[in-house]
């Protein structure tokens, strides 16, 4: 669990790069160079450039966000905390700085403070999945510490042993937390391009493939990110219950192999329905079913609104 929390400090899913509010050519040029330096791990050079750029454009949240990311990668966590706190105060409508601030505090073991900050991130954007996942990890970490303390008092306490074991098994995956942009800002800055049916077909098939690969790799963030915020959750479950259920079902499997064939797409006004044959294999289980995924567009992305299976 500690490994998961620490990993998020360096590469949290909220390491999502802000598109610039500034129209300055100087700023945009420097941002591209900062991205390249970050990608190549040249953090010292990136820090020098971002500090110089901020001197010329102090009100650019993208530059400030990069500054915090660079400081985090350089293990200047106290400076990164100051930077992300400054962004949350000056740009409170953006959830990502709250999330990064929270995971930095979590790295210091200040879980209650991290919890409060993540709750603020969710309040800013209720559909911000990364904050929900990190909040779940914070609660889990707090629970594991409580069970460990119980075991210090009574090492033979079977209830504490069982629950601690369940927590460890449930959170033994390593989620993919590297992303490249924040979609809420992208959607505002870019005009949507109208795609032809052929182009849409290619896009939807690619999304289905990514969904399948995330499922096979137990990449829960990538998998859960495939679903819309108003997804039609089965069996009267809410979002949190369904995500916990799916996480438990998926990460507990040793291997998962999925073969998808015969994809057929039906286009309607604001929905795209995909039907296909799914061959699911895990251990001794080999299940073939007819799958239907209904996609809707949310914040510029096609996401799964409804999912059904049948023989």
Give the CATH number, domain containing residue 244.
Answer: 3.10.450.50
Residues 120 and 235 in one domain: no
Domain end among 134, 151, 186 = 186
Range 66-75 average pLDDT:
86
Residues 200 and 177 in one domain: no
The residue segments making up the domain with residue 52 are 2-186
Residues 122 and 155 in one domain: yes
Residues 142 and 28 in one domain: yes
Residues 36 and 144 in one domain: yes
pLDDT of residue 216: 93
pLDDT of residue 101: 83
DSSP state of 144: H
Residues 43 and 130 in one domain: yes
Between 279 and 154, the higher pLDDT residue? 279
Residues 26 and 80 in one domain: yes
Which CA distances in Å does 275 have to 121, 187, 282?
A: 36, 28, 22
Share of the chain above pLDDT 90, in %: 28
pLDDT of residue 302: 92
Domain end among 170, 186, 202 = 186
Q: Specify the 3-state DSSP secondary structure of 117.
A: helix
What's the angle, vertex CA 171, arms to CA 106 and CA 152, rounded to 5? 70
Domain end among 168, 186, 204 = 186
- CA pair distance 87, 209, nearest whole angstrom: 36
Give the CATH number, domain containing residue 142.
Answer: 1.25.40.10
Residues 42 and 95 in one domain: yes
Residues 251 and 146 in one domain: no
Residues 37 and 148 in one domain: yes
pLDDT single digits (tens) 277-301: 999 999 889 999 999 999 999 878 8
Q: Spell 113-125 as b/e; 16+ CB within 10 A means b.
A: ebbebbebbbebb
Give the pLDDT band (50/70/90) at residue 105: confident
How many domains are there within the chain? 2
What's the angle, vertex CA 150, arms to CA 146 and CA 154, rounded to 5? 170
Residues 53 and 116 in one domain: yes
CA-based torsion, 84, 86, 89, 90: positive or negative: negative
Contact between 265 and 201 (Cβ < 8 Å): yes
Contact between 99 and 121 (Cβ < 8 Å): yes
Residues 86 and 135 in one domain: yes
The pTM for the full model equals: 0.45
Count Cα atoms within 13 angstroms, Cβ side, for 214: 20
- CA pair distance 207, 209, nearest whole angstrom: 5
- CA pair distance 133, 245, nearest whole angstrom: 14
């Amino acid at each position: 669990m500690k490994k998961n929390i620490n990993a998020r400090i360096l590469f949290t899913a909220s390491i999502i790069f802000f598109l610039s509010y500034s129209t300055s050519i100087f700023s945009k040029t420097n941002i591209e160079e900062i991205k390249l330096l970050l990608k190549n791990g040249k953090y010292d050079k990136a820090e020098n450039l971002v500090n110089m750029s901020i001197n010329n454009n102090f009100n650019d949240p993208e530059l400030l966000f990069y500054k915090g990311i660079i400081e985090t990668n350089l293990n200047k966590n106290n400076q990164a905390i100051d930077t992300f706190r400054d962004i949350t105060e000056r740009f409170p409508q953006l959830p990502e700085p709250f999330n990064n601030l929270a995971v930095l505090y979590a790295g210091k073991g200040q879980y209650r403070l991290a919890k409060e900050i993540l709750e603020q991130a969710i309040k800013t954007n209720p559909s911000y999945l990364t904050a929900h996942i990190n909040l779940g990890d914070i609660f889990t970490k707090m629970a594991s510490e409580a069970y460990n303390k119980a075991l210090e008092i009574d090492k033979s306490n079977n209830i504490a042993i069982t629950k601690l074991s369940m927590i460890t098994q449930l959170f033994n995956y390593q989620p993919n937390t590297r992303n490249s942009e924040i979609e809420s800002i992208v959607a505002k800055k870019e005009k949507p391009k109208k795609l032809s049916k052929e182009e849409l077909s290619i896009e939807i098939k690619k999304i289905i493939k990514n969904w399948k690969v995330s499922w096979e790799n137990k990449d829960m963030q990538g998998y859960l990110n495939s679903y819309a915020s108003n997804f039609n959750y089965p069996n009267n479950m809410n979002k949190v219950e369904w995500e916990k259920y799916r996480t438990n079902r998926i990460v507990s499997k040793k291997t998962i192999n999925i073969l998808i064939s015969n994809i057929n797409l039906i286009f309607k006004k604001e929905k795209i329905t995909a039907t296909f044959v799914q061959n699911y294999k895990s251990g001794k289980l080999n299940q073939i079913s007819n799958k239907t995924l209904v996609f809707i567009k949310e914040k510029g992305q096609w996401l799964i609104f409804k999912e059904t299976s049948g023989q």
